[in-house]
Structure 1
Amino acid sequence: MDAVFNVNNEVFNYRVAGVLIKNNHVLLHKQVTDQHWSLPGGRVQVLEDSATGVKREMQEELGYTVEVEKLLWVTENFFTYQERTYHEIGFYYQLSNDNLNVTASPFYGEEGEQLIYQWIPLKVLNTITLYPEFLKSSLKELPTNTQHIIIK
């Protein structure tokens, strides 16, 4: 069971995301119907720790077995999406997998054609719509210590 709670038109969401960077490209994804990109990941399950959750999500969505390197950011993100107000707690992990191939073409993951994935050059992040927005600059220079970020 995912750790997400709906109350009327408001959602509390506990999310993990993975930062995979290779050859100066970062792996991003988006819903087929959306215009914005985000880091791949998903909801943590009840009674699951966040590091295990991000590894599970990478396996389920992409078929990738990853290693968790370190926790980069903990976020408290407040936003509106599809006419619903979200309060999202996010754990963003730097991940590694030496077997990944960076390709220029978009591709679908293991769950079908709902999500599109693409390796995006770090140098063009400022030209795309990427949420949360702090990632546009922060992905270019990863922090040495975990940062706590509140996004309102």
Structure 2
Amino acid sequence: MSRDIIFKTEEYVFSYRVAGLLIQNGKVLLQKPVDDTGYAIPGGHVALGETNEETLIREFKEEINADIKVDKLRWVGELFFPWGDKPCHQICLFYEVSLAGDINIPLDGTFFGTEQLEGKSFKLEFSWVDTKAIKNIELYPIEAKEYLYEGLDEIKHFVYKQD
């Protein structure tokens, strides 16, 4: 049984997620399923009994075999979007992270990793995207485009509602 904090009712899904803002040489690391066009900030669902920091360290290790250090909280997002055939209410906390130890991932271009969610495995594409060109891609939540372009200088709160 998954320990991820995802609760489902007849009508709704609630999810608690954390994401890591990894920026190197003016580029941010983004992820997307290989069969999708929209990017997201890497991270994953917090497991019961796990801290946000522990979750991010575990997710980066599981998905791309990268060791990270978790730095400051940067954004707090209340996200509303479809999860399959149900509406989802997600709380997502976005932290600034940095690479630690041996660097096991490319620092430019695109590479692949794997995500585990609800007992299934998904192939993910990870890409380094120039923060100055971020407005030209499909990125969710959409507030991330503006905030990444502006820089990570203060904590921001936002509500994102996808129709």
Compute the TM-score of the two structures, normalised by the length of structure 2: 0.84
Cα distance in 2 for partners of 1:16, 1:29 equals 14
Sequence identity (%): 36
Shift of 1:84: 2.5
Q: Tell me which amino acid in the other structure corresponds to 1:12.
A: F
Shift of 1:103: 1.8
Structure 1 residue 151 corresponds to structure 2 residue 121: no
Contact conserved, 1:72 with 1:142, CA < 8 A, in 2? Answer: no
Match of 1:48 among 47, 50, 53: 50
Structure 1 residue 119 corresponds to structure 2 residue 124: no
Cα distance in 2 for partners of 1:61, 1:68 equals 16
Compute the TM-score of the two structures, normalised by the length of structure 1: 0.90
Structure 1 residue 128 corresponds to structure 2 residue 132: no
* Equivalent position of 1:107 in the other structure: 111
Q: How many residues align?
A: 151
* Equivalent position of 1:6 in the other structure: 8
Q: For residues 91-127 of structure 1, what are the alpha-carbon distances to aligned partners after superposition, in whole Å with 9 as ceiling and x for unaligned?
A: 10100116364222x2111558611111111122111
Cα distance in 2 for partners of 1:90, 1:73 equals 8
Cα distance in 2 for partners of 1:114, 1:8 equals 29
Structure 1 segment 52-71 matched on structure 2, within 5 A: 52-71=54-73
Gaps spanning 5+ residues in structure 2: where?
116-120
Shift of 1:42: 0.7
Cα distance in 2 for partners of 1:117, 1:143 equals 21
Q: For residues 12-70 of structure 1, what are the alpha-carbon distances to aligned partners after superposition, in whole Å with 9 as ceiling and x for unaligned?
A: 00001000011111100001222110011110001111121111111111111100111
Structure 1 segment 54-93 matched on structure 2, within 5 A: 54-93=56-95
Contact conserved, 1:26 with 1:119, CA < 8 A, in 2? Answer: yes
Q: 1:75 to 1:140 in 2, by over 3 A?
A: same
- Judge which range, 110-119 or 135-144, deviates more: 110-119
- Alignment RMSD (CA, Å): 1.8
SS of the residue corresponding to residue 96 of structure 1 reads strand
